[in-house]
């Protein structure tokens, strides 16, 4: 596989318009689903309530099961969980924190179990698990998850600003924000319940995507320090091509692990596996088609000063005006048919 991607010279950046169109369309689909079908489907860990997983000896009539539970816990959600013998019952607490002070979530579970005993007899089903979370705890967990994701973005920006410079940091953070938005669109479109496991997958994805972007940006920084009279457009393509073998091997290994979880893990870990499997493709996509073009745009709007000796070589600084002109012309030019990028001479 390394030989296949050895000494490649693909012009990745020229496809940024098509990539931007695809990612915006996907995010808009997720936003449309959000507006049409309501907000994010949070688990009881964030909303508070009672979750029961039931396994029946014989497949129950769903309408009868729903009617039985609604008599003691109105508004409960009943979903098939795996086979037609297993179901989950989720009862949310009504009335907020004040109601939770007088109504025990465990009491809701006991009331549901008593109704099921009367309908199906205790021998006709098994309670495999019961989870009860108060509304106050759920609200705190949701706030903590949001703070964690914001901190990831701030730490990434600070690290890249110190390790590289603010232009790289801004491009990486915006690329990470893209990954969050497109992952949330995926979660909404495929009706994945947002639990602590899914939040963990999103945080893992943010670190994974950031690492992939850092690898490419580190190579860009090394190439910028060399005395090459080439534009940033060419430098970005060079960096992506040079790190391509490493990226392919890393993503293939990660995909093997996430697919194994997807196939062999249980229902609890399956949402994590779905988000991570999708996230591997998103991280690869964003590090090439989002982070690179964003850096090119930021460099064009905030060009480097010739006095930045520590980060830009003398040759690069001398060629900066004409290189920026070439970048603008090439990024505005319509994409050519797929193929290898043409070789550019090292000097004019």
Tens digits of residue pLDDT in 17-38: 999 999 999 999 988 888 887 7
In a domain, 162, yes or no: yes
Predicted local distance difference test score (pLDDT) of residue 92: 63
The beta strands (E) that lie in the chain are given as 49-56, 77-80, 86-92, 125-133
227 against 251, higher pLDDT? 251
Each residue's pLDDT tens digit, 180-210: 899 999 999 988 888 888 988 988 888 888 8
What is the mean predicted confidence (pLDDT) over 1-6?
55
Q: Same structural domain for residues 112 and 255? A: no
**Based on the domain organization, do 23 and 155 belong to the same domain?**
yes
Predicted pLDDT of residue 106 = 65
**Residue with tokens 């060399």, as numbered in its chain:** 226
Alpha carbons within 13 angstroms on the beta-carbon side of residue 184 total: 18
Q: Is residue 347 part of a domain?
A: no
For the stretch 78-131, pLDDT in tens is 888 878 888 888 876 554 433 443 345 567 788 888 889 888 888 889 888 887
Q: Let me know whether 277 and 176 are in one domain.
A: yes
Residue 145 and residue 30 share a domain:
yes
State how many domains the chain has.
2
CATH number of the domain residue 196 falls in: 1.20.1640.10
Run of H or E including 129: strand 125-133
Question: Whole-number mean pLDDT of the chain?
Answer: 78
Residue 315 has pLDDT above 80, yes or no: no
Q: What is the pLDDT of residue 344?
A: 45
Same domain, 167 and 241: yes
How sure is the predictor about 330, in pLDDT bands with cuts at 50, 70 and 90? low
Q: Residue 348: is its pLDDT beyond 50?
A: no
Q: Give the pLDDT score at 203.
A: 86
Judge whether 184 and 40 are in contact, CB under 8 Å: yes
Last residue of one domain, picked from the residues 133, 149, 180: 133
Domain end point (choices 133, 160, 185): 133
* Same domain for 266 and 181: yes
Q: Judge if 150 and 112 occupy the same domain.
A: no
Last residue of a domain, one of 87, 112, 133: 133
According to the model, what pLDDT value does residue 290 have? 92
Q: What's the whole-model pTM score?
A: 0.72
DSSP state of 10: B
> Do 231 and 316 belong to one domain?
yes
Backbone CA torsion sign across 253, 259, 265, 266: positive
| Structural domain contains residue 5 | no
Residue 209: the pLDDT is 84
Contact 228, 237 (CB under 8 A): no
Tell whether 211 and 274 lie within a shared domain. yes
How far is it, in rounded angstroms, from Cα 89 to Cα 97?
21
CATH number for the domain harbouring residue 112 = 3.30.70.3220
Inside any domain, residue 44:
no
244 with 153, same domain: the answer is yes
Q: Quick check: helix, strand or coil at residue 53? A: strand
Residue 284 lies in a domain: yes
Please check the confidence at residue 7 and state whether its pLDDT lies above 80: no
Main-chain dihedrals φ then ψ at residue 116, nearest 5 degrees: -70, -35
For 170, residues 6+ apart whose C-beta sits below 8 A from its C-beta are 157, 294, 298
Task: Give pLDDT, residue 343.
Answer: 44
| Residue 320: domain span | 13-37+139-332
- Does 313 have pLDDT greater than 50? no
Q: Is residue 337 part of a domain?
A: no
346 within a domain of the structure (yes/no): no
Shared-domain flag, residues 148 and 115: no
Same domain, 213 and 287: yes
């Amino acid at each position: 596989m390394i030989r296949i991607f050895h000494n490649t010279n693909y012009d990745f950046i020229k496809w940024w318009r098509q990539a931007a169109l695809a990612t915006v369309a996907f995010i808009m689909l997720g936003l449309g689903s959000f507006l049409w079908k309501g907000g994010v489907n949070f688990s009881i860990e964030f909303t508070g309530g009672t979750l029961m997983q039931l396994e029946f000896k014989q497949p129950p009539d769903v309408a009868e099961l729903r009617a039985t539970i609604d008599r003691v816990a109105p508004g409960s959600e009943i979903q098939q969980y795996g086979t037609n013998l297993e179901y989950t019952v989720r009862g949310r607490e009504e009335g907020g924190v004040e109601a939770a002070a007088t109504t025990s979530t465990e009491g809701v579970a006991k009331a549901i179990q008593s109704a099921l005993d009367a309908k199906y007899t205790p021998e006709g089903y098994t309670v495999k698990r019961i989870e009860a979370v108060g509304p106050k705890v759920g609200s705190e967990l949701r706030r903590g998850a949001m703070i964690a994701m914001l901190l990831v973005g701030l730490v990434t920006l600070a690290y890249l600003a110190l390790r590289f410079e603010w232009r790289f940091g801004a491009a990486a953070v915006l690329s990470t924000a893209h990954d969050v938005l497109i992952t949330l669109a995926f979660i909404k479109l495929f009706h994945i319940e947002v639990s602590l496991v899914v939040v963990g997958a999103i945080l893992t994805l943010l670190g994974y995507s950031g690492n992939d972007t850092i690898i490419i940006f580190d190579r860009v920084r090394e190439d910028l320090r060399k005395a090459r009279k080439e534009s940033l457009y060419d430098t970005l393509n060079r960096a992506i091509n040079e790190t391509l073998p490493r990226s392919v091997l890393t993503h293939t290994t990660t995909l093997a692990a996430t697919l194994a979880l997807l196939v062999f893990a249980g229902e609890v870990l399956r949402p994590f596996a779905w988000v991570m499997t999708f996230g591997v493709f998103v991280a690869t996509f964003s590090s090439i088609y989002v982070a690179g073009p964003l850096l090119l745009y930021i460099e064009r709007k905030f060009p480097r000063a010739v006095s930045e000796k520590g980060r830009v070589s003398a040759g690069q600084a001398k060629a900066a005006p004409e290189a920026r002109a070439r970048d603008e012309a090439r990024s505005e030019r319509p994409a050519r048919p797929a193929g290898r990028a043409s070789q550019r001479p090292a000097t004019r």
